[in-house]
Amino acid sequence: MKPPAPQLIAAAVLSLALTACGTSVQGAPPSAAPDSLAGTAITVYNAQHEELTQEWADEFQAKTGVTVTLRHGSDSELANQIVQEGNASPADVFLTENSPAMSLVENAGLFTGVDADTLAQVPAGYRPSTDKWTGIAARSTVLVYNPSTLPDTELPESLLDLSDASWKGRWAASPGGADFQAIMSALLQLKGTAATEEWLAGMKANYTPYQGNSAVMRAVNAGEIPAGLIYHYYWFIDQAGTKENSANAKLHFFGKKDPGAFVSVSGGGVLAAGKNQAAAQAFLAFITSKDGQDVLRTGTSMEYPVASGVPANPALPALDTLVAPSVDPATLNGTEVISLMTAAGLL
């Protein structure tokens, strides 16, 4: 889990940062590497959890003989880096935590299409209608709350309730992060500009800012603030470990297709200018295959599998029980959301 990143970083600084954190994946020798792929290499710009993508890369290399180099960063950092680099980008594949960064690269015309067989592994609800990239994982919006300061009987019925004056000083968020901005992108798509502006004004009056979703959860757990808006996996990861940052907290799933029940789709796409198209497409095909999605089911990221019929980790409520609103990931406009949040004094 990475701390929120600045929205725009100079290309030169980003290039140095990416070069410094790039690592070649060293996996076992390929067991049955196809002649067409063995010995080739791809570069993946990775904004997903580093441990998760490392496991994907290790297993893919062992299966195919393709060397995978990972360059880590945040959604906004890497999306802007790819756009700045354009057709000169060394990236073959881009992986994100949230959809708006994928839309930024797609709108710049830098993705090629995803192979039809790969798309067939992912239900339509978890990939963009444009088919220029695909969903690879998902996370649910939730309200984390402390029942000692916010009884179950007082939980909000809707995300929209949090802009009401009755919630002043009673909830927290991390507005500078890509996670929260993705949630706001869904609100914008579902309710429109005027309603989003009104809600953000109410948020500004009511909420308490923290730096990062983990900090929000810790504050709720410690009783500093009654509730906070985060993604589900922060709580489930802590629950699977020491519980030191979640023992006093519970999760409220809004459901009912409310904007607060938004499920954010993590994306994967192949860059049109990439030098190794076949290997890049094969990497996406693997991630969305049963073997690739099993990494989500059995691993430690606590994110949702979205492809190949793989169920979630047993600790999570089933994805199809969340009653999330229907949102085409291709329509999420992160650029407009940043403008609206800046105008509201949140950024």
CATH label of the domain that carries residue 217: 3.40.190.10
pLDDT at 19: 37
In a domain, 174, yes or no: yes
**Residue 272 sits in the same domain as residue 132:** yes
3-state DSSP assignment of residue 29: coil
171 and 153 belong to one structural domain: yes
Is 97 a domain residue? yes
Q: How many Å apart are CA 83 and CA 68, to the nearest integer?
A: 22
Within 8 A by CB and 6+ apart from 265, the residues are 98, 99, 126, 127, 135, 137, 138, 306, 329
The answer to the question of residue 303 being in a domain is: yes
Count of structural domains, the chain: 2
Q: Are residues 126 and 270 in the same domain?
A: yes
Residues 149 and 250 in one domain: yes
Helix 50-64 to helix 290-298 angle, to the nearest 10 degrees?
150
Domain extent at residue 109: 40-137+264-317
Mean pLDDT value of segment 178-187: 97
- The residue whose two tokens read 């949702």 is 304
What percent of the chain shows pLDDT beyond 90? 90
Identify whether residues 64 and 47 lie together within a single domain: yes
User: Is 255 part of any domain?
Assistant: yes
CA gap 345, 204 in Å, rounded: 7
- Banded pLDDT at 1 (limits 50, 70, 90): very low
One domain for residues 57 and 194: no
129: in domain: yes
| Position 222 pLDDT exceeds 50 | yes
Cβ neighbour number for residue 320 with a 10 Å cutoff: 10
Same domain, 232 and 157: yes
pLDDT of 130 strictly over 80: yes
Residue 227 is assigned to a structural domain of this protein: yes
With a cut of 90, say whether residue 5 has pLDDT above it: no
- Comparing 31 with 144, which gets the higher pLDDT? 144
Task: Write out the DSSP string of 98-144.
Answer: SHHHHHHHHHTT-BPPPPHHHHTTS-GGGS-TT-SSEEEEEEEEEEE
35 — pLDDT class (breaks 50, 70, 90)? low
Reference 140, options 256, 249, 261; nearest CA is 261
* Residue 131 pLDDT > 80: yes
Q: What whole-number percentage of the chain has pLDDT above 70?
A: 90
Tokens of 163: 């802009």
In this structure, the answer to whether residues 339 and 209 fall within a common structural domain is yes
Residue 36's pLDDT band (cuts 50, 70, 90): confident
pLDDT at position 244 over 50: yes
**Average pLDDT for the chain:** 91
Neighbours of 86 (CB within 10 A): 11
246-301: pLDDT as tens digits? 999 999 999 999 999 999 999 999 999 999 999 999 999 999 999 999 999 999 99
* Cβ contact 203:173 at 8 Å: yes
Same domain as 188, residue 84: no
- Four-point Cα dihedral 250, 220, 302, 44, nearest 10: 160
Q: Is residue 164 part of a domain?
A: yes
Largest Cα separation within the chain, whole Å, is 64
Judge whether 32 lies within some domain: no
* Pairing outcome for strands 93-95 and 41-46: parallel
Lowest mean pLDDT among 37-41, 155-159, 202-206: 37-41
Domain check: are 63 and 94 in the same one?
A: yes
Beta strand pairing call for 171-173 and 227-231: parallel
Q: How far apart are CA 256 and CA 276, in angstroms?
A: 44
Tokens representing 73 are 């960063």
Q: Does residue 183 carry a pLDDT above 80? A: yes
Mark whether 239 and 305 lie in a shared domain: no
Q: Is residue 16 over pLDDT 50?
A: no
Both 122 and 148 in a single domain? no
